[in-house]
Amino acid sequence: MPARLPLILILFYAFPAFAQNPPEPIVPPLMPQPDRMSVTAGAMPLTQSFAASLTGYTEPRLQRAVDRLYARITAQTGIPLEYGTRVPDHPALVIHTGRASEKVQKLGEDESYRLDVTTQGARLEAPTPLGVLHGLETFLQLVTSTQQGYVVPAVTIEDKPRFPWRGMLLDVCRHWMPKEVVLRTLDGMAAVKMNVLHWHLSEYQGFRVESRKFPRLQGMGSDGLYYTQNEVREVVDYARDRGIRVIPEFDMPGHATAWFVGYPQLASGPGPYHIERTWGVFDAAMDPTRDSTYKFLDTFIGEMAKLFPDDYFHIGGDEVSGKQWRENEKIQVFMRRHHLKDNPALQAYFNQRLQKIVRKHNRIMVGWDEILHPDLPKDVVVQSWRGQQSLAQAARDGYRGLLSFGYYLDLAQHADMHYAIDPLGGAAATLNPEQQARILGGESCMWAEWISDETVDSRIWPRNAAIAERLWSPAGVTDLNSMYQRLEAQSARLETAGLTHIAGYRPMLERIGGVNSWREMKILSDAVEPVKGYKRRLDHDQRKPLNRLVDAARPESLSARRFNRTVDAFIAAPENSTERKQAAEEVTGKLNEWLALPETLKPAFENSPMGAEAAGVAAALASLAQAARSAMQAIGAQQPVTAEWKAQQLDNLKKLSTDPNAEVVIAVAPGIQKLIEAVPYK
């Protein structure tokens, strides 16, 4: 834990992010929070003569990073940089790199950097290009607008990651994600210093990579929606340019139906097989008893190992139903002959043979926590998704592990929930230092049942930045107010960096409510969120569009959060105080907006079949706003209500705060509930 951090947090509260009066220190909202930072008064002006020079070790990747820096500064500030790629004698930013990094980025390489900014200039220094890439992202985050123009505040930052494996899983199978989505996701990951793309490439619902050895994999298992080998290489190169490793996952022996459409001989049941269109755990599984299965996998993994240079290779291993194994007499005979007492034992047998193949192709096997078995060699990496217990168990047993439990972005939970989950917390807190060192980090997971290429950005961002911070920043960085303040700033920056989580909102709202009603639709949508966890049931089919209110609504509405916080401020503030008046005004303003919605949106909904379910939500929101307004009046007048009134309002709130048909929750209901509860009563 860096000793200076508390000081930084104090500075954070003492000076607002966009201080208008240098020489007071400006503390920009960085995310992830650096390991060590000290801020001094003053700032370096960012003008059109800005340029950066590369000294020490250099390579084309570093020059490309500088070119991106220029492009992003221009995009962010509108300042045309006069030097272009020429470097003046005294560049504002000097970048010094110590040495080359590994040819293929390795787990645990030095990613540290040091950034010094004074009023006179800036210097970024890093042992390897990886640190330079991270430092440039920090530099961009430092760019701050003031009344004097754009500046880079004077800081000294010494930064390095807490965990060496900071990943994100992207499922491109349930719903297809075109290459452009993957590329901009990599830009976003780089911006928050994540360094592993876990590319989930095969499933029941699709096989997404071109195999030349087995062309029926993508030919019959993908509807034509797959990445060519050239596209894969492009993604891998793009990731490397941003300090990100790419690890493919080919899920087996379960989650594999799409393989069997073209190659039914791999399966344990008779088939025929078709691409699954709906969601769930299906029974089709590879046949672990046939040598031909391993021969196929040997050829396939050999081909993929050429395409994906990373040391690690993910074989899935999750959720094998076992039904096909139980129902196949030959498999049952095999199990008896090999003393495999149950399905997990058969899967362990499969994993051992698979691991040898993966090893033969110079890759290290990664799998979901179901693969944990004492017979597997200790270099296998276990990814925990079912709980923190399995991660601790893996580490105790001598395996290295990754945490994904608690980091599922598809469950539409709030950033603070993810933020509170620490890879070394929970069951891992009892591990000894040697065991803890086996925990490499974690990965957020963007499963794609209920996302499309249109909505994916808003499901990843900005919440993923909170997980990225958990994996990069010191364990003691846990302040939620600071996190949310920085999350909002980071959200806007990610949008400038090419993500579409904000820009993509309006077209969806326009589609539902018509082009003239998107403002009112946004008021409605900002007050709701998708149902949480695994509660979503409709659109349970790959071929159905995801274009309803639940898809437009944000997994975490930061606007709803602000409302709920303002209610807290209102209740906490002394009567007749300015804070209380301000909070009351803000709350009332929101309530009035919601009260007006059924009327203002009526014409929009009347002409839109998609609007019908949104109309129900607008009515529920207005009804809650009405209750909240009555509560505000009673609180203001100190006029007690009856206990029955209160009970009835709370009962009504409970009923209305989830709409199971629209599959949304009213995200401002917690604030409204507090208002009702705060009313004096007899």
Q: Are 25 and 43 in contact (CB under 8 A)?
A: no
Compute the least distance from the CB of residue 378 to ligand ACM, in Å: 22
Residue closest to 238 by CA, chosen among 277, 171, 189: 189
Q: Toward ligand ACM, which CB reaches closer, 150 or 385?
A: 385
Residue 532 burial (CB count, 10 A): 15
597 and 615 in contact (C-beta within 8 Å)? no
Residue 592 backbone dihedrals phi, psi, to 5 degrees = -65, -40
Cβ-based nearer residue to ligand ACM, 33 or 404: 404
Closest distance between ligand ACM and the C-beta of residue 197, in Å? 16
As a whole number of angstroms, the distance between CA 340 and CA 349 comes to 8
In the complex with ligand ACM, the residue whose CB is nearer, 174 or 646, is 174
* Per-residue x/- track, 105-144, ligand ACM (CB under 6 A): ----------------------------------------
Site for ligand ACM in 296-335 (CB under 6 A): 318-319
Rounded to the nearest whole angstrom, what is the least distance from the CB of residue 318 to ligand ACM in the complex? 4
Q: Does 368 bind ligand ACM (CB under 6 A)?
A: yes
CA diameter of the chain: 82
Those residues with Cβ within 8 angstroms of residue 293's Cβ, 6 or more apart along the chain or in another chain: 266, 286, 287
CB of 446 to ligand ACM, least distance (A): 11
* Contact call for residues 527 and 554 (beta carbons, < 8 A): no
CB of residue 368 to ligand ACM, shortest distance in Å: 5
**385 counts as binding ligand ACM under rule CB under 6 A:** yes
**The residue to which tokens 């010494």 are assigned:** 158
DSSP state of 42: E
Closest CB to ligand ACM among residues 298, 318: 318
Give the total of residues touching ligand ACM (CB under 6 A).
4
CB of 319 to ligand ACM, least distance (A): 5
481 Cβ neighbours under 8 A, 6+ residues apart: none
Give, rounded to a whole angstrom, the gap between the first and last alpha carbons of the chain. Answer: 52
Burial of 396 (C-beta count, 10 Å sphere; 0-12/13-18/19+): middle
Nearer to ligand ACM, 117 or 382 (CB): 382
Comparing CB distances to ligand ACM, the nearer of 24 and 318 is: 318
Question: Nearest distance from residue 385's CB to ligand ACM, in Å?
Answer: 4
102 in active site = no
> Which listed residue (319, 510, 586, 677) is catalytic?
319
> Of 116 and 319, which has the nearer Cβ to ligand ACM?
319
- Name which of 507, 511, 505, 518 is nearest 457 in CA terms: 505
Secondary structure of residue 401 in the 3-state scheme: strand
How many C-beta atoms lie closer than 10 Å to residue 134's C-beta? 27
- CB-closest chain residue to ligand ACM: 318
Binding track over 235-274 against ligand ACM, x by CB under 6 A = ----------------------------------------
463-472 helix and 179-191 helix, angle to the nearest 10 degrees: 50
Using the rule CB under 6 A, is 204 a contact of ligand ACM? Answer: no
Under 8 Å between Cβ of 22 and 148:
yes
* Residue positions annotated with a catalytic role: 319
The residues of the shown chain that bind ligand ACM, judged by CB under 6 A, are: 318-319, 368, 385
